């Protein structure tokens, strides 16, 4: 008989984003109209979202508890969802009078997007990003051709700010872990690049860019930038599907009282953030993440410890 002995050289398993009990960015709010039903999956759990006639968005487990019909083919009746097979009718809490209830999931609308918590009980509140003085927009999905963990680690890889993004730190970064579900780094940088987006950023910031980067539950990354002349904010949602890993952005710019300036500022914010992101996507393409190499960096070591500690939904909680 051969006995297999675990080796320290074996890779450490890290959670899959679709299993994390965290907030997930589903889609822009405008993508789900009143009376509309949407099929969506975390990658490991199938859900249906629907917007009731009152305008509220709800999320339910995808398969009817009666005989398993997919509720994605259902119909919105008032503020309830009717099963296409036997017309059982579930409200936003999953209740069906006189019948078996359906599992419901918490939903919020923020930053021009719909966020769903992957679990029936919220473990931590949705992220607070920016302020009411910001106007938000959303991007199309970006495909990322690597695993989830390299994307998360890349955001906190401050050395790559110099090599990829042409930024230099002005002072030592400050890493914080205010609660078990939040990891944050604060730093100030200056521009060293000469590209168009670099020159615009240098002009807007006076070459002093204050950044607060926060990882919320492993599935959402927020970036708040103080550019001196203006402030901007970004929320990036990671989504694992059968087609691969995708990132969707919700981005913001400061509101203005002048007609048309809001729209222009939002377009500039979109361009700066997507230009920054595209540099990362080209570098991460096909990456095989080396945990040992990442662990040698003190900030990335904290990222690995944080992501390894994140709670997953148990098998009997996924449906």
**Residue 10, in any domain of the structure:** no
Residues 113 and 148 in one domain: no
Residues 178 and 287 in one domain: yes
Give me the pLDDT at residue 231, please: 76
Give me the pLDDT at residue 263, please: 72
**Residue 60, in any domain of the structure:** yes
CB 189 within 8 A of CB 205: no
Residues 111 and 143 in one domain: no
How many structural domains is the chain composed of? 2
**Residue 199, in any domain of the structure:** yes
**Residue 238, in any domain of the structure:** yes
Going by pLDDT thresholds of 50, 70 and 90, the confidence category of residue 14 is low
Residues 283 and 177 in one domain: yes
Residues 187 and 304 in one domain: yes
Asked which of 82, 117, 152 is the last residue of a domain, the reply is 117
This prediction has a pTM of 0.87
Give me the pLDDT at residue 7, please: 38
**Residue 256, in any domain of the structure:** yes
Q: Which residues fall within 8 angstroms of residue 60, CB to CB, at 6 or more apart?
A: 47, 48, 50, 71, 81, 90, 94, 102, 103, 104, 105
Q: How far apart are CA 45 and CA 66, in angstroms?
A: 18
Residues 141 and 200 in one domain: yes
Query: Can you read off the two tokens belonging to residue 242?
Result: 């059968």
Q: How far apart are CA 275 and CA 200, in angstroms?
A: 12
Average pLDDT, integer, range 186-192: 91
The DSSP code for 11 is P
CB 180 within 8 A of CB 197: no
Average pLDDT, integer, range 131-136: 80
Residues 39 and 161 in one domain: no
Residues 43 and 173 in one domain: no
Residues 161 and 301 in one domain: yes
Judged against a pLDDT cut of 80, whether residue 54 lies above it is answered with yes
Least confident of 95-109, 134-148, 259-273, 298-312: 259-273
Going by pLDDT thresholds of 50, 70 and 90, the confidence category of residue 1 is very low
Asked which of 66, 84, 117 is the last residue of a domain, the reply is 117
**Tally of CB atoms within 10 A around 210:** 16
Q: What CATH number is given to the structural domain containing 42?
A: 2.102.10.10
Average pLDDT, integer, range 41-62: 96
Output the CA torsion 116→92→130→237 (10° steps).
20
Average pLDDT, integer, range 278-286: 83
Angle at the Cα of 38 from the Cα atoms of 33 and 40, rounded to 5 degrees: 140
Q: What CATH number is given to the structural domain containing 263?
A: 3.90.380.10
Judged against a pLDDT cut of 80, whether residue 296 lies above it is answered with yes
The DSSP code for 315 is G
Residues 107 and 139 in one domain: no
Show the domain range for 228: 134-309
DSSP string, 89-157: EEETT---TTSPPPPEE-EEEETTEEEEESSSS-SSPPP--S-TTEEEEE---EEE-S-HHHHHHHHT-
- Where is pLDDT greater, at 114 or 264? 114
For the chain, what is the mean pLDDT? 88
Residues 70 and 166 in one domain: no
Average pLDDT, integer, range 201-223: 90
Going by pLDDT thresholds of 50, 70 and 90, the confidence category of residue 242 is confident
Residues 296-310: b if buried by 16+ CB within 10 A, e if exposed: ebebbebbbebbeeb
**Residue 211, in any domain of the structure:** yes
**Residue 204, in any domain of the structure:** yes
Residues 153 and 293 in one domain: yes
Chain centroid, CA 169 distance in Å: 26
**Residue 12, in any domain of the structure:** no
Average pLDDT, integer, range 240-257: 85
């Amino acid at each position: 008989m051969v006995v297999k002995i675990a080796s320290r050289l074996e890779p450490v398993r890290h959670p899959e984003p679709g299993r994390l009990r965290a907030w997930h960015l589903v889609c822009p709010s405008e993508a789900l109209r009143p009376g509309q039903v949407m099929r969506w999956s975390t990658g490991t759990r199938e859900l249906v979202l629907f917007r009731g006639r009152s305008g509220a968005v709800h999320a339910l487990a995808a398969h009817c508890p009666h005989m398993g019909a997919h509720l994605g083919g259902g119909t919105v009746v008032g503020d309830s969802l009717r099963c296409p097979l036997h017309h059982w009718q579930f409200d936003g809490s999953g209740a069906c009078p006189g019948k078996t209830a359906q599992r419901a999931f918490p939903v919020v609308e923020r930053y021009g997007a719909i966020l769903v918590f992957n679990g029936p009980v919220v473990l931590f509140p949705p992220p607070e990003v920016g302020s009411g003085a910001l106007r938000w927009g959303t991007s199309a999905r970006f495909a990322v051709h690597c695993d989830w963990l390299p994307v998360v680690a890349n955001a906190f890889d401050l050395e790559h700010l110099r090599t990829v993004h042409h930024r230099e730190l002005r002072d030592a970064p400050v890493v914080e872990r205010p609660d078990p579900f939040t990891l944050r780094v604060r730093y100030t940088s200056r521009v060293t690049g000469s590209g168009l987006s670099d020159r615009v950023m240098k002009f807007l910031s006076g070459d002093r860019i204050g950044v607060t980067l926060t990882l919320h539950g492993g599935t959402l990354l927020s970036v708040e930038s103080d550019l001196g002349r203006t402030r901007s904010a970004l929320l990036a949602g990671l989504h694992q599907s059968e087609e691969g890993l995708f990132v969707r952005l919700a981005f913001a710019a400061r509101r203005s009282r002048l007609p048309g300036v809001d729209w222009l500022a939002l377009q500039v914010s979109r361009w700066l953030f997507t230009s920054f992101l595209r540099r990362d996507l080209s570098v991460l393409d096909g990456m095989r993440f080396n945990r040992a190499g990442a662990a040698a960096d003190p900030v990335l070591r904290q990222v690995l410890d944080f992501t390894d500690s994140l709670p997953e939904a148990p098998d009997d909680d996924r449906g």
